[in-house]
Amino acid sequence: MRNLPGIEDASGLPEPRFDLWAAPAVSGKPHHLGHRERLRDRAVAGGLAALPDYELLELFLFRSIPKKDVKPLAKQLLARFGSLGAVLGASPEELRTVKGVGEAVALDLKLLHEATLRTAKEQVARRPLISSWSALLAYVKAALAHENREQFRVLFLDKKNQLLADEVMNRGTVDHAPVYPREVVRRALELSASALILVHNHPSGDPTPSSADVDMTRQVVDAARALRIAVHDHLVVGRDGVASFKALGLM
């Protein structure tokens, strides 16, 4: 209701005018900014370990996308890939299939994955791998559990079973990576390696060794034995775990 001209209140000043049809004024910060502050406060108070995966991912995405609610994106990423490890292990191309993930966000997620790999690798470097088995398993899982194509790697060890090099010898398809025993042994000689640990992944998720895996391992063991190079184990990595040939009695 509008005031009539000339009507004043007791103060002698005209009454303020009101327009019932005007849109309400927007005040305060956007909702997602308040949510960010609350999430940061909870992370500080309770520690990052107390946060569920989607909130941990959301907290990281704050830095990649500073002016948008990123909770829906964090949940979409986890729904698309199934786990936090799978999100980080996804390729940039796969990440960009999720709406809201551009080149910058994909790069940030891959940087986090690389930092995770390097941290895990530090735990197996400069120490005998045979006595650091749990750290080794954590490293190969971080490196290979979520790869979508088979990858064959070799860990080259010195006389003290310390890591000389971790090298990808071949990449293949979703269910096969060609392995050439002569190339493995040749590279071991170049590095003056005394022992090897073979590693490859199964993108299907099931780490159970196949008959082809068993045959290939025997070929590498035979070629290495002729040059007095030991093969300590062959690890098959999948999302469901890591299978050890030695533990399974396959070598």
pLDDT of 7: 38
**Distance in angstroms (rounded) separating the CA atoms of residues 162 and 135:** 13
Residue 41 vs residue 100, higher pLDDT? 100
Question: Which amino acid appears at position 9 of this protein?
Answer: D
Quote the pTM value.
0.72
Q: What is the mean pLDDT of the chain?
A: 85
pLDDT above 60 (res 250): yes
What SS3 class is residue 190? Answer: helix
Helices and strands, number each (H, E), in the chain: 9, 5
pLDDT above 50 (res 10): no
Beta pairing, strands 195-201 & 230-238: parallel
Span 182-201, pLDDT tens digits: 999 999 999 999 999 999 99
**Distance in angstroms (rounded) separating the CA atoms of residues 43 and 16:** 46
- Please, which residues bridge with residue 237 across strands? 201, 242
Average pLDDT for residues 126-154, to the nearest whole number? 87
Task: Give residue 177's Cα distance to chain centre.
Answer: 22
Sheet holding 151-157, edge to edge: 163-171, 151-157, 195-201, 230-238, 241-244
Q: Which residues lie closer than 8 Å to 218 by C-beta, 6 or more apart?
A: 251
Model confidence band, residue 148 (pLDDT cutoffs 50, 70, 90): confident
pLDDT above 80 (res 175): no
Model confidence band, residue 163 (pLDDT cutoffs 50, 70, 90): very high
Burial class of residue 207 (count of CB atoms within 10 Å of its CB; 0-12, 13-18, 19+):
buried
Half-sphere exposure of 95 (CA within 13 A, CB side): 23
